[in-house]
Structure 1
Amino acid sequence: MAEEIEQAKQWYVLHTYSGYENKVKQNLEMRITSMDMEEYIFRVIVPEEEHVEITKTGKEKIVKIKNFPGYVLVEMIMSDEAWFVVRNTPGVTGFLGSHGQGSKPTPLLPDEVRNILSSLGDGGYNRNMKFELDEVVKVIDGAFDGMEGRVQEIDAEHGKLKLTVEMFGRETLAEVDYNQVDKF
């Protein structure tokens, strides 16, 4: 059952009024709880990055800048009930990829999600994914894409692995993120 839920989960993009992204996130999270939708709607993200600005007095100030103004990401299972709850959240003007008239939207592609989450420092990796020492994994992204590697060290807290990969006829140590490898 848990595996079926993981496969049914998809990421969708909500369109909002620019400047209201965090309010939409807050509204949606409250509705998820109050309408008992935790089994259908999982995460709500406003993609933003921290930047350092220098104030007029010369002091450094950290500000958050939205990567996609006017958009919010939501991870959910697209059921009629979940669609209705999200679509009717105050501040949501619609789903990106929906053609209107109640049609269901198109989810983001896995590569798009991985790139967005990685840029946010989330990495998009599954923190529940378990690796074992000496396990052979396939690298699916990055400089070692397409290679096989044997797990030498595991840093589950940061979602990183150290693998030995064969390059130029000898074994080399490579550090990769969880989201850059797949199990066989």
Structure 2
Amino acid sequence: MMELVSSEQHKRLHPHKFTLWVAMASIIMMFAGLTSAFIVKSNLTGWRTMVLPKVFWVSTVVILASSVTMQMATKAFKAREMLRYRSLITTTFVLGLVFVVCQVFGFFDLWNQNIRFKGSSGAGQFFYAIAGLHALHILGGVVALAVMLIRSVAGKTKHYNSTPVEVMGMYWHFVDLLWLYLLIFFLIVG
């Protein structure tokens, strides 16, 4: 009987994972709405297009590398290789910060191209809003990574429950894929 209950519990979706799925669905809807508004507004007269700064390609490589290190960190945690886990989660944390710094440099480059957030500049306005919101989601992930790193260094990991690490990994891969979607969207439509 006990084995049956334990087996049933393993088949259920963990509440944290369910909450993450709901959050990701709402984030998808938000970005879908913003990119849809971009398409609608781009058909208006006076619309100004923009060229993506090259630093956004660097940030793309950085975010993809961080996804790899996050996946490796998850595997290391599950294998109880805590030194390797700490090293990889630190690397993911640093790469997340580098991504945000690259985004800021990209925003400065756009600003220097006279693409402003206010007024009727067109694509640039949307890009600031959309990429800025994405950067905020990355910063939220970086804060979560910092908490996980501090817990691992402080020895707070008494139980090897991989759910928090898995949830963080799912979120991190999600924001990585979201960036790829946004980059491709602005390359094709923008």
The normalised TM-score by structure 2 is 0.27
The normalised TM-score by structure 1 is 0.28
